[in-house]
Amino acid sequence: MTVKYSMRFKIYTLIDITKTDAHRSDIPKRMNQQANFNTLYNVIGLRTNPTDFIIDVKKDSVNDFKFGSSYKGKHNIWECEFFVEADQSIDVNTMIEDFHLVPIIKGLDETIKIDKGLFFSSKDEAKCNIIFERIDK
């Protein structure tokens, strides 16, 4: 049986969400990276069943994105693409609300200065470190 995915999204973040599949006995940094990915997955999973995550990281200028005004120059940007089956089960505005002020583990491979270990969505114009986009329109 083939599953038809009805919605596709991308998340861009300055927070290390590397999916390492690390477990308790692994290197602490890899476990913390996986913990941040798990946080991302679980926040989305409160409303829908996300699947088929593709995560990439690149060093790029934050000027090409709508991150907070306190970030300048080139930084590590994680790009996360995923699918959901249930049409209209989640949208960009819902994710902006859901992710704002969700705790993360900092001090991994981020290149930004992080005062507080939190996701800041576009509700915080200066500190926004996560951006959402629907890409199947």
50-108 per-position pLDDT tens digit: 999 999 999 999 998 999 999 999 999 999 999 998 888 999 999 999 999 999 999 99
Flag whether 29 is in a domain: yes
For 107-120, write each residue's pLDDT tens digit.
999 999 999 999 99
- What is the number of domains present in the chain? 1
Burial class (CB in 10 A: 0-12, 13-18, 19+), 1: exposed
In Å, the largest CA–CA distance within the chain is: 48
**Mean per-residue pLDDT for 18-31?**
91
Q: Look up the domain containing 31 and give its range.
A: 7-134
Residue 6 has pLDDT above 90, yes or no: no
pTM: 0.93
Structural domain includes residue 121: yes
Domain assignment present for residue 2? The answer is no
Element (H, E) at 41: helix 28-45
Residue 1 belongs to a domain: no
> How far from each other are the two terminal CA atoms of the chain, in whole angstroms?
25
